[in-house]
Copies of this chain bind each other. A is one copy, B any other.
Amino acid sequence: MVQIDALIFNEIPKGKPIPGQTLKKVQQELDLDAPLQDGEILVKTTALSLDPYQRGRMRPEEVESYVPAFKLGQPIDNFGVGEVVKSSNSQFQKGQRVYGYLKFQTYQVVSKEATAGLRVLENKEGLPWTNWVGAAGMPGQTAWYAIEKLSGLKKGESVFISGAMGPVGQLAIALAHKIGAKVVASAGSKEKCDFLKNELKVERVFNYKEEDPNQVLAAWNKEQGKPFEVYIDNVAGPQLEAALNHIGKRGRIVAIGAINDYNGEPYGIKNIFYVVGKELRYEGFIILNRMTPELFKEFYSEIPPALASGEFAKPKEHIFNGLDNGEAFASLFDSQNSNFGKAVISLE
Per the CB 8 Å criterion, the residue count for chain A at the interface is: 35
CB of A280 within 8 A of CB of B284, answer: yes
CB of A278 within 8 A of CB of B284, answer: yes
Segment of A20-28, A69-77, A81-89, A264-272 in the binding face: A264-272
CB of B272 within 8 A of CB of A236, answer: yes
CB neighbours (8 Å) of A256 from chain B are 276
CB of A286 within 8 A of CB of B282, answer: no
CB of B281 within 8 A of CB of A249, answer: no
CB neighbours (8 Å) of A236 from chain B are 272-273
CB neighbours (8 Å) of A267 from chain B are 268, 270
Check: A296 CB closer than 8 A to any chain B CB.
no
CB of A255 within 8 A of CB of B275, answer: yes
Query: How far, in Å, is A322 (CB) from chain B's closest CB?
Result: 32
A285 CA to B285 CA, complexed, in Å: 21
Check: A261 CB closer than 8 A to any chain B CB.
yes
A236 CA to B271 CA, complexed, in Å: 10
A324-336 Cβ-contact flags toward B at 8 Å (1 or 0): 0000000000000
Check: A257 CB closer than 8 A to any chain B CB.
yes
Contact of A276 among B265, B270, B286 (CB under 8 A): B286
Contact of A279 among B56, B274, B284 (CB under 8 A): B284
CB neighbours (8 Å) of A65 from chain B are 277
Q: Select the residue from A240, A249, A256, A283 with max chain B CB neighbours within 10 A.
A: A283
Check: A258 CB closer than 8 A to any chain B CB.
yes
CB of A289 within 8 A of CB of B279, answer: yes
CB neighbours (8 Å) of A286 from chain B are 276-277, 279
Contact of A66 among B266, B275, B277, B282 (CB under 8 A): B277
CB neighbours (8 Å) of A268 from chain B are 267-270
Residue of B nearest to A285 (CB): B279
Q: Select the residue from A65, A255, A274 with max chain B CB neighbours within 10 A.
A: A255
CB of A276 within 8 A of CB of B257, answer: yes
A284 CA to B283 CA, complexed, in Å: 11
CB neighbours (8 Å) of A262 from chain B are 273
20 further A-B contacts with Cβ under 8 Å, apart from A269-B272, A275-B283, A276-B286, are: A56-B277, A66-B277, A236-B272, A236-B273, A257-B276, A266-B271, A266-B273, A267-B270, A268-B268, A269-B269, A269-B270, A274-B284, A275-B282, A275-B284, A277-B284, A278-B284, A279-B283, A279-B285, A280-B284, A281-B281
